[in-house]
Amino acid sequence: MKQLKTTTFILLFLLLWIPLLQQLTGIFKETRLKGAYVESVMPKFSADSLKTFGYQKQFEKYQNEHFGLRPLFVKLKNTLEYLLFGELSVTDNVLGKNGLIFSRGSIGRTLGIYYNGREQNEATAEKIRFMKEALERRGSHVIVLMAPSKEMVFPEYLPDSYLGQAKPANDYSDLVRSLNRAGVPLLDFCTYFRKMKDTSSIQLFTKTGFHWSVYAASLAEDSLLHFIRPYVKGPMLEYRRVGAEWSDTARLSDADFEDPQNLFISLQQDRYLYPKLEMVKGTAGRKRPKVIIIGDSFFWQIKDQKRLKTIFSPDSKYWYYFASTSFPLNDDAGVPLRNINIIEELETADIVLLSGSMGTFDHFPFGVSDYYYEHIAQQKELIKGIFAYLWDHPEWAKGLPESSRANNDVYTRLVEKEAIKICSYKRTIRLKANNGRFVSADGARNNIAVCDKQKASTWETLGLIPLGGNKYAISSYKNRYFSAELGGRGELIANRPAIRDWEVFTMLELEDGRVAFKAANGKYVSLDETSLQLFAKAASVGPGEKFLMMD
Amino acid sequence: MLFSSTFFLVYFLPVFFTIYFLLPLWLKNYFIVFASILFYAWGAPQFVFILLGTVLFNFALAHLIVRSSGRRKRMLLIFSVIVNVCLLLFFKYANFFADNVNVLLQAMDVNAIDFMRIALPIGISFFTFHQLSFIIDVYRGVKPPMKNIVDYALYILLFPQLIAGPIIRYNEISDQIEGRNKRFNVDEVLEGFLRFAVGLAKKVLIANVLGREADRIFALPAAELDFVLSWMGAITYTFQIYFDFSGYSDMAIGLAKMMGFTFPENFNHPYIAQSITDFWRRWHISLSRWMRDYLYIPLGGNKVSDARLYFNLWVVFLISGFWHGAEWTFIAWGAYHGFFLAIERLFLLKLTSRIGIFFRIAFTFLIVVLGWVLFRAHNIQQAGSFFRKMFSFSTGGTHYFSPYLITMLLIAAFFSFIPVVGRWAGREKNTAAAGIGITLFRVATIIVFLIICISEITSSDFNPFIYFKF
């Protein structure tokens, strides 16, 4: 009896040694735990770190993550808690009815428990409107895509613990209202999916997927392409659905909630439906618009289907969360966003697509509209000049409430805001005069306007700022305004910090596609063939008063 | 190093016991001292020399005391007590005193004193009480001092009890340390291991789960608390502290048993106590006994006037509360219990003797639960607002508590109120006679508990994201 007990005891102690021996020898092959996490590293030893307990703390953390057979222990705990209590190991996940897994964060956003508040959401929509209007003047169209959440489409499957917790408003409802009011083109899949869920035979969401299903993403892609068609001049390459197939295993991220649970059992549904699409013949050579997408992981589901890379132009980009990387739409690696000229990319795109979803509306559109606004607002010298013009011409504020105009502080802020908005409409141009040379402000000669450069470079880059009607101010590359020198010879000089009457020009668009500018003295800006200087001295438009305006 | 860490369970435990069992008997004490120093130094290397210094100091002083007599002997005792208590006061309470002096100075518009914060050596409350027990027992002649300093160091440093008790009086353990002639006893080792595994499960599977909920509720602003939440917070904490502390004691007792030492029990189903007096016979028994033997009795014990007796009781519990931590909440908690002990002696015991056992237990439990609110609150103000909510009977909407939490709460309540379980957890007297069936059952229990607990511990900070690649 005693021998048997001793043997049992020895076996028990040998068992106790197994994790340590496995760590030292790696006898059994272990598979890494799934999901995304950062593993700690073995700390560097130092007397100081030992004294302050830093070394021990890090070492224990490292050891806790690296002892032998740890993945089995983690899976065991996760499986037991799931089977016994229906608890999921990823703390953001919660098990709903009928085995549907939801995201707690997304539930909170959907029900309005986590809520930015109406004021912040309206400010967000206002920034998007600002960006939309500014980019539209450059030929780029901003479109907002709102992806649905599983929680919004299938609220009836939410766990009972969320019953009665829905608040009257959420970020989504605020944004939809504000964006509609601001006239921002909106592709709202939340409403669309809710409407179709009872009639559609396809799975919009899978049981263990966070995002819309691959099938639903393909529908969203199709709707998106239809939606942007009016904004893209000319037909685009097309795909058509030729059927669907069932699969026993999930593809792409159709079960993306499953892996990080790290269970011994499978939670997935039995079968998954996948669409079959093929390119419509004869559409391959069509226009491919340049599209810049700023979006969250819902858009990744569309990108992963690999059709957009053939529909959109090769220089289209996907700025995931506008965080750190600019991804192409093909499978190539991304490049750091810091190496990209963001403003130029936005302003040269055909479409700028802002794609958000219920779980990310709290920081939608991920800072890009703020970035754009700040880019404009930092042109402080130009804005100051426009501010002076608006202050002198208060008629722009007629539509504002009387109370805003009466309060000096409020009015000042509104003038500043309007000035930033007008600055955002600034068009970057080059002016070629009749002598075939480009207009610039000659820094070496007191910034007088000359027309002597055969190639347009930095100095020849000018800003055309619309002031209403056909009135414009023209800025030099140094952000000084061109002025027809008052009391002088009508000499054009680019040295004015503010737009007053002498810095305003009336632009005439001529029949031959050229333009002419009339200064405040009523004379047209004219090229002096001898000095190659510009003067506002011509009474009518002749060849010397015509300019070719180039972007 | 926590017993409930994978570092202890996967590294320290197998390595220590393998070497320990393989060593000859005469080397075992030396090895325990060596391992205990490593154990302590790992967690608090900057204090290990203070700890060793106090061991040397008290050992030397005890030998001086035993060789002295009369006034000199008494002076040596007083000197030793003052040094030990001053060390405890300095390290544990200096910050508290300085903070409170500064509050007073600021109230009088005087500049606050700039002082350096003092770091707290781990386990100082326990090893100070152990050393005092040693010195006082030697002084009283209850036991002579150990001859070998390594044996004394083992009494103080023995890692199962070094950090969080139980508080073992010198006279209870000295013979076990010096008279190490027992051979390896597999039943005793398995019994100890089972006790350790049960304690680990109490801590990891129950206390930690309840603790997360208690932490969540006690972190809520007062405005977000309501009747249900405040009671849930108080109840979860009530069971958390019991399963946490008694779990630790079980682990300590179990580990000691595996080494061949028998520690006194520290808990005896305190939540079935029928009075607060009864509660303190069942809760942290080793502290109560220490307080009784080394503080209450020297103050006069029961052989004083009634007024003095109530005063003594109150003082003992005030000190006991303060011993738990340098915060006003602990002092208030001690005073609260002292108050109930006094009024029980005055009239309450007579009153409650008429209401029946069920109501006596329920009434005592209620007093204890309210006391834990004082103990757990961040400050007196928070305790006050917690009490107001507990008796406001107003609900702030529906609350959802997970099945996991509710299950653990029910299990905790079941094991707290059903005293049978303790006996099952390896406390049978006749261990040597345990049959093979019982042995196999014990081993299986140990394995299952260890595996589940390691799973729980190692997963506690594993929370992967779905996507993280960008």
pLDDT tens for residues A432-490? Answer: 999 999 999 988 888 899 999 888 888 899 999 999 889 999 999 888 999 987 666 78
Residues A125 and A234 in one domain: yes
A543 and A431, same structural domain? yes
pLDDT, tens digit (0-9, with 9 covering 90-100), for B81-118: 999 999 888 888 778 888 888 888 888 877 777 777 77
Residue-range definition of the domain harbouring residue B275: 187-407
Q: How confident is the model at residue B337 (pLDDT cuts 50, 70, 90)?
A: very high
Interchain CB distance below 8 Å, B10 and A19 = yes
Contacts of B43 in chain A (CB under 8 A): 53, 56
Is position B25 within any domain?
yes
Confidence of residue B462 (pLDDT cuts 50, 70, 90): low
pLDDT of residue B182: 67
Q: What does the alpha-carbon distance between residue B30 and residue A415 come to, in Å, rounded to a whole number?
A: 84
Domain's final residue, options B407, B432, B461? B407
pLDDT at B469: 36
Asked whether residue B207 falls in the same domain as residue B143, the answer is no
Helix (H) or strand (E) holding A549: strand A548-550
pLDDT in tens, A168-199: 999 999 999 999 999 999 999 998 998 888 88
Answer yes or no: do B176 and B195 share one domain.
Answer: no
Query: Within this chain, do residues B237 and B130 fall inside the same structural domain, yes or no?
Result: no
Distances (CA, A) of A105 to A165, A244, A255, A301, A362: 14, 33, 18, 20, 11
A166 touches chain B (CB under 8 A): no
| Number of separate domains in chain A | 4
- Over residues B331-353, the mean pLDDT reads 89
Any idea which of A9-18, A315-324, B412-421 has the lowest mean pLDDT?
B412-421
**Arithmetic mean of pLDDT, B138-145:** 89
Q: Which chain A residues in 196-225 lie under 8 Å from chain B, judged by CB atoms? A: 210
Of the residues B161, B181, B201, which one is the last residue of a structural domain? B181
Q: Give the catalytic positions of B in this structure.
A: 324
Pair B141, B194 in one domain? no
Using a CB-CB cut-off of 8 Å, the residues of chain B touching A163 are 398
| Dist CA A329 CA A349 (whole Å) | 14
- pLDDT surpassing 70 at residue B422: no
Closest residue in B to A321 (Cα) is B470
User: A80 touching B, CB under 8 A?
Assistant: yes
Half-sphere exposure of A498 toward its Cβ, with a 13 Å CA cutoff? Answer: 9
Tell me whether residue B433 is in a domain.
no
Of A4, A56, A259, the CB nearest to B436: A4
Cβ–Cβ of B7/A164 closer than 8 Å? no
Same structural domain, A361 and A216 = yes
Q: Is A235 an 8 Å CB contact of chain B?
A: no
User: Which candidate in A52, A60, A208, A257 is best for mutational testing of the B interface (most B CBs within 10 A)?
Assistant: A60
Asked if the Cβ–Cβ distance from A12 to B446 is below 8 Å, we say yes
Whether residue B451 and residue A73 make contact (CB cut-off 8 A), yes or no, is yes
Same domain, yes or no, for A451 and A412?
Answer: no
3-state helix, strand, coil in chain B (%, to 5): 75, 0, 25
Average pLDDT on B239-244 reads 94
Q: Is residue B319 part of a domain?
A: yes
Shortest Cα–Cα distance, A107 to chain B (Å): 15
* B159 min Cα distance to partner chain A (Å): 18
Together in a domain, B21 and B76: yes
Mean per-residue pLDDT, B433-440: 72
pLDDT at B336 over 60: yes
The whole-number pLDDT of residue A234 equals: 82
Query: Same structural domain for residues B165 and B194?
Result: no
pLDDT above 90 covers what percent of chain A?
56
| The Cα angle at residue B7 between residues B4 and B8, in degrees rounded to 5 | 55
Model confidence band, residue A53 (pLDDT cutoffs 50, 70, 90): confident
Contact B186 A36 (CB under 8 A): no
Do B10 and A77 lie within an 8 Å CB cutoff?
no
How far is the alpha carbon of A37 from chain B, nearest alpha carbon, in Å?
5
Least confident of B137-141, B280-284, B349-353: B349-353
- The 10s digit of each residue's pLDDT in A257-311 is 888 899 999 887 778 989 999 888 888 778 899 999 999 999 999 999 889 999 9
Asked if residue B426 is part of any domain, the answer here is no
> Is B193 contained in some domain?
yes
Q: Is residue B470 part of a domain?
A: no
B336-343 CB contacts, 8 Å cutoff, 24+ apart: B336/B370, B336/B371, B336/B374, B337/B276, B337/B280, B337/B371, B338/B313, B338/B314, B339/B314, B340/B276, B340/B367, B341/B276, B341/B277, B341/B280, B341/B313, B341/B314, B341/B317, B342/B310, B342/B313, B342/B314
**Closest by Cα among A266, A185, A400, A256 to B466:** A256
The residue whose two tokens read 């169209």 is A141
Q: How is residue B300 written in tokens?
A: 């006069």
The 3-class SS string of A211-230 reads: CECHHHHHHHHHHHHHHHHH
CB pairs under 8 A between A and B: 153
CB A37 within 8 A of CB B464: yes
Point out the residue among B10, B451, B469 whose CB comes nearest to the CB of A76: B451
Name the residue among B42, B46, B439 with its Cβ closest to that of A51.
B46
Radius of gyration of chain B (CA): 24
CA distance B158 to B144: 20
In chain B, the residue whose alpha carbon lies closest to the alpha carbon of A4 is B436
Nearest to A35 among B46, B190, B466 (CB): B466
> Looking at the structure, do residues A16 and A129 belong to the same domain, yes or no?
no
Residue A297 lies in a domain: yes
Tell me how far apart the alpha carbons of residues A189 and A47 are, in angstroms, rounded to a whole number.
Answer: 59
Residue with tokens 């008629």: A395
Range of the domain at A30: 2-70
Mind telling me how many Å the CA of A345 is from chain B's nearest CA?
A: 21
Judged by CB atoms closer than 8 Å, whether chains meet at B462 and A90 is answered as: no
A79 domain residue, yes or no: no
CA dist B248 and B123 (Å) reads 14
Q: Which structure tokens are listed for B67?
A: 């060789």
Shared-domain flag, residues B239 and B321:
yes
User: Is A63 within 8 Å of B11 when comparing Cβ atoms?
Assistant: yes
Q: Does A37 touch chain B (CB under 8 A)?
A: yes
CB spacing of A64 vs B459 below 8 angstroms = no
In a domain, B341, yes or no: yes
The CATH code of the domain that includes A442 is 2.80.10.50
**Residues A260, A191 within the same domain:** yes
At which of A349, A370, A391 does a domain end?
A: A370
Task: Choose one of B181, B205, B228: the last residue of a domain.
Answer: B181
What are the two backbone dihedrals, phi and then psi, of residue B144, each rounded to the nearest 5 degrees? -75, 160
> Are A391 and A534 within one domain?
no
A468 plus A544 within the same structural domain: yes
Domain tally, chain B? 2
Same domain, A155 and A200: yes
* Pairwise CA distance, residues A376 & A391, whole Å: 20
Indicate the burial class of B341 (C-beta count within 10 angstroms; 0-12, 13-18, 19 or more). Answer: buried
Do B171 and B304 reside in the same domain of the chain? no
- pLDDT digits 0-9 by tens, A218-234: 999 999 999 999 998 88
Q: Which of B402, B458, B468 sits opposite A73 (nearest CB)?
A: B458
Residues B198 and B175 placed together within one structural domain of the fold: no
A431 and A418 in one domain?
no
pLDDT of residue B468: 43
Q: Which H, E and C letters describe A82-102, residue by residue?
A: HHHHCCCCCCCEEECHHHCEE
Asked whether the beta carbons of B275 and B364 are under 8 A apart, the reply is: yes
- Three-state DSSP state, B157: helix
pLDDT bin (cut points 50, 70, 90) of residue A153 is very high
Among A17, A16, A69, smallest CA distance to B443 is for A16
Q: Which residues contact A190 (CB under 8 A, 6 or more apart)?
A: A146, A147, A148, A149, A152, A153, A172, A358
Task: Check residue B306 and give its pLDDT.
Answer: 82
Together in a domain, B152 and B214: no
Average pLDDT on A312-328 reads 93
For residue A69, give the chain B residue with the closest CA.
B455
Rounded to whole angstroms, the Cα distance separating A108 from A358 reads 9
For residues B299 and B315, give the distance between their C-alpha atoms in angstroms, rounded to a whole number: 10
**Mean of the per-residue pLDDT values for chain A?**
90
Q: Calculate mean pLDDT across residues B51-74.
A: 91
Q: Which of A131-140, A194-203, A347-356, B415-424 has the lowest mean pLDDT?
A: B415-424
Q: Tokens 């219990």 appear where?
A: B337
Instruction: Report the alpha-carbon distance of residue A550 to residue B6 in Å, rounded.
Output: 70
Q: Cβ of A338: how many Cβ atoms within 10 Å?
A: 9
Residues above pLDDT 70, as percent of chain B: 94
Give the tens place of pLDDT for each residue, A99-129: 899 999 999 999 999 999 999 999 999 999 9
Q: Which pLDDT does position B52 carry in this prediction?
A: 92
ipTM of the prediction? 0.86
Is residue B197 located within the same domain as residue B174?
no
Residue B461 lies inside a defined structural domain of this protein: no
Residues B145 and B217 in one domain: no
Same domain, A254 and A284: yes
- Is residue A81, in this structure, part of any structural domain at all? no
Give the other-Cβ count within 10 Å of B106's Cβ.
11
Return d(Cα B276, Cα B368) in angstroms, integer.
8
Would residue A89 count as lying in a domain? Answer: no
C-alpha A475/C-alpha B332 separation (Å) is: 74
A91 within domain boundaries: no
How many Å apart are CA B170 and CA B152, to the nearest integer? 10
Closest-CA distance, B464 to chain A, in angstroms, reads: 5
Task: Indicate if A298 and A442 belong to the same structural domain.
Answer: no
